[in-house]
Amino acid sequence: MKSTAEWIDGKGFREAVFELVRLAACELPADVEKALSDARSAEEPGSSAELTLSLFLKNIAMAKEKQAPVCQDTGLPIFFISHPEGVSQRQLIRVCQEAASWATAKPYLRHNAVDAVTGKNSGNNIGLGFPAVYFTEWDDPAIEMALILKGGGSENVSGQYSIPYDPLDAGRDLEGVRRVVLDCACKAEGKGCPPGILGVCIGGDRGGGYMESKHQLLRRLDDIHPDPVLAELEGRILSDANRLGIGPLGLGGKTTLLGVKIGKLHRVPASYFVTISYMCWVCRRRSIRIEPDGNWRITG
Amino acid sequence: MRDKAMIHLTTPISEAEILELHAGDAIQLSGIATTGRDAAHKYMVEKLIEAPRPLPPADQKLHDELQSFLRGGAIYHSGPILRNDDGRWSFVSSGPTTSIRDEVYQDKVIAAFGLRVVIGKGGMGPRTLEACKRYKAVYLHGIGGAGVYNAASVVEVLDVFKKEEFGLPEAFWKIRFDRFTGIVTMDAHGKSLHDDLALEFDRNFATVIKGV
């Protein structure tokens, strides 16, 4: 097998990662655009919700045409990389950093990496844990990179519940899960830029729960969970959330969420965490697959 | 805003113009404004409004500059993405950011600088609502997430302050709007659409949570 350095420095590799960042920032996935378009059709004609969704769709078209970032908050770039055995993760992190820096100069990304103590902006989207890069080793010979640009407003309204949760009488069962997830969506009101998408993890520890909830945000909106129990729960929470009346940007309307995606992790007997990552309507999620010969293609 | 025409406003905006606006009105705003978010609001309150006099010369200069165009004008909660072509800045993507983070500062900034319009997203709290009523200002809710659409209404970047210290997204960008679109959600008559809606959301939540 090729060394990581040969692979990364060879034909196409950097180009592919740079393209991934550009695409994520400037062009929303087709399933997200379709969901927004369907939502517009569902709102009352002439309502502010319908106007807002029309302007979202107009903005998506303008961003694509001008090759400009759909939203100015390009957030924290989070890379999820699946790679074969023997690949150097440190070298892959360096490529992700190069891509972040290149995209900042274009400008496809906003200057977003701020020192947590001094407040100094690094100016190139590189910093401690910035961009975030996570790895999974797999049997496939290719590398697959998924990228989410996770904006700050939606991250701020994400949350984690430890159940039982008294204020909602939420117990350690799926009904309890339903209650706390809806509570999170309701408390977010317009602050997370609805209609949002919720990535949810049932179980795990506090850290693992957040990771899994972000993994769930990689799923297409129109997929169906293979576990019928979770598939049903996803549908139930989605339809319940869309009865809250929060609507696009929290200004009222029928569409509060575009999707709910739920995963699970084993938990210790003492803990029962429910973790929710809120993704705004500008759901920037893209992926590419890079073959060992440097050929690559967009996979999502 | 149903069945109503878009209302056009141009800075400087008078008290009378503000009093004609009501929560729910759709607005197109033109004229001079500045961006300002977390760092800018903290700075304005701590270093310009509440700092002992005399101010250090650099702060005094910025204070006077902001006073010269914010009276009757607008502040925009936004951290833009910009392009620089041969020294000329332009906005590439610039939607509104969440406003509530500036709730502890906004009333003081409205009072000290004579702002008529605060632009952002998500709405603000009772202190800002009270300041809107007392000093005749409105909160204009922009189209969150629509960065390119909003940037198209920023037709000129006139100046920038505190760029090095705050970084690009947090600096004061003095800009000229041409028909920036938003919805008045907090007016100068004490009405907040956000407060009304929050009650409705809570009522709906109470029903939904019961599982009926």
Q: Render pLDDT for B31-80 as a digit per residue (tens, 0 to 9).
A: 999 999 999 999 999 999 999 999 999 999 999 999 999 999 999 999 99
Q: Are A121 and B167 in contact (CB under 8 A)?
A: yes
Interface contacts A/B by beta carbons within 8 Å? 167
Could A191 and B26 be called an inter-chain contact, meaning their C-beta atoms sit closer than 8 Å? no
Confidence of residue B1 (pLDDT cuts 50, 70, 90): very low
Which DSSP letter does residue A17 get? H
Rounded Cα distance between A105 and B106, Å, is 33
Confidence of residue B4 (pLDDT cuts 50, 70, 90): low
Q: Where are the domains of chain B?
A: 7-209
Give mean pLDDT, residues A115-121.
95
Residue A277: strand pairing partners: A199
Q: Find the closest chain A residue to B193 by CA distance.
A: A251
Could B149 and A62 be called an inter-chain contact, meaning their C-beta atoms sit closer than 8 Å? yes
Q: What pLDDT is recorded for position B6?
A: 87
Is the pLDDT confidence value at B170 over 80?
A: yes
Q: Find the closest chain A residue to B203 by CA distance.
A: A244
Side chain identity at residue A101, one-letter code: S
Q: What pLDDT is recorded for position B42?
A: 97
> Sign of torsion, CA A136 A140 A142 A148?
negative
Phi, psi (degrees; rounded to nearest 5) at A274: -125, 120
Q: Which one of A32, A60, A70, A72 makes the best mutation probe of the B interface by having the most chain B beta carbons within 10 Å?
A: A72
Instruction: Print burial letters for B85-114: b (CB count within 10 Å at least 16), e (below 16).
Output: eeeebebbbbbbbbbbbbbebbbbbbebbb
Told to judge if B189 belongs to the known catalytic residues of this protein, a careful annotator would answer no
Of A55, A74, A182, the CB nearest to B209: A182
Among the listed residues B41, B63, B141, B194, the single catalytic one is B41
Of B79, B141, B209, the CB nearest to A251: B141
**Percentage with pLDDT > 90 across chain A:** 95
Q: Which residues of A touch B82 (CB under 8 A)?
A: 107
Taking only the tens place, the pLDDT of each residue in A227-286 is: 999 999 999 999 999 999 999 999 999 999 999 999 999 999 999 999 999 999 999 999
Non-local (6+) Cβ contacts of A90 within 8 A are none
Is the pLDDT confidence value at A21 over 50?
A: yes
Q: Can you tell me the ipTM of this complex?
A: 0.94
Q: Are B193 and B109 in contact (CB under 8 A)?
A: no
Q: What pLDDT is recorded for position B3?
A: 43
Q: Which residues of B touch A245 (CB under 8 A)?
A: 197, 200-201, 204
Question: Looking up tokens 């990389």, which residue turns up?
Answer: A81
B143 vs chain A: nearest CA distance in angstroms?
7
Element (H, E) at A146: strand A143-150
Give mean pLDDT, residues A76-101.
97
* β-strands A296-298, A273-279 pairing: unpaired
Complete domains list, chain A, with CATH: 4-26+70-151+284-298 (3.30.360), 153-279 (no CATH)
Which class does domain B7-209 fall in? Answer: alpha beta
Q: What pLDDT is recorded for position B2?
A: 42
Of A156, A179, A193, the CB nearest to B145: A193
Could B168 and A121 be called an inter-chain contact, meaning their C-beta atoms sit closer than 8 Å? yes
Residue A278: strand pairing partners: A198
Side chain identity at residue A219, one-letter code: R
Could A48 and B1 be called an inter-chain contact, meaning their C-beta atoms sit closer than 8 Å? yes
Q: What pLDDT is recorded for position A1?
A: 63
The CA-based dihedral angle spanning residues A81, A84, A90, A96, taken in that order and rounded to the nearest 10 degrees: -30
What are the distances in angstroms from CA A60 to CA A68, A194, A283? 10, 15, 11
Instruction: Indicate the pTM of the whole model.
Output: 0.95
Residue A201, token pair as written in the block? 């993890």
Residue B7: strand pairing partners: B27
Is the pLDDT confidence value at B135 over 60?
A: yes
Which among B131, B94, B175 has a CA at the least distance from the CA of B18? B131
Which among A297, A290, A287 has a CA at the least distance from the CA of A9? A290
Taking only the tens place, the pLDDT of each residue in A175-222 is: 999 999 999 999 999 999 999 999 999 999 999 999 999 999 999 999
Q: What pLDDT is recorded for position A4?
A: 85
Taking only the tens place, the pLDDT of each residue in A36-87 is: 999 999 999 988 899 999 999 999 999 999 999 999 999 999 999 999 999 9
What are the distances in angstroms from CA A121 to CA A113, B95, B134, B197? 6, 20, 37, 36
Rounded Cα distance between A162 and A221, Å, is 27
A179 vs chain B: nearest CA distance in angstroms?
6
Could A56 and B143 be called an inter-chain contact, meaning their C-beta atoms sit closer than 8 Å? yes
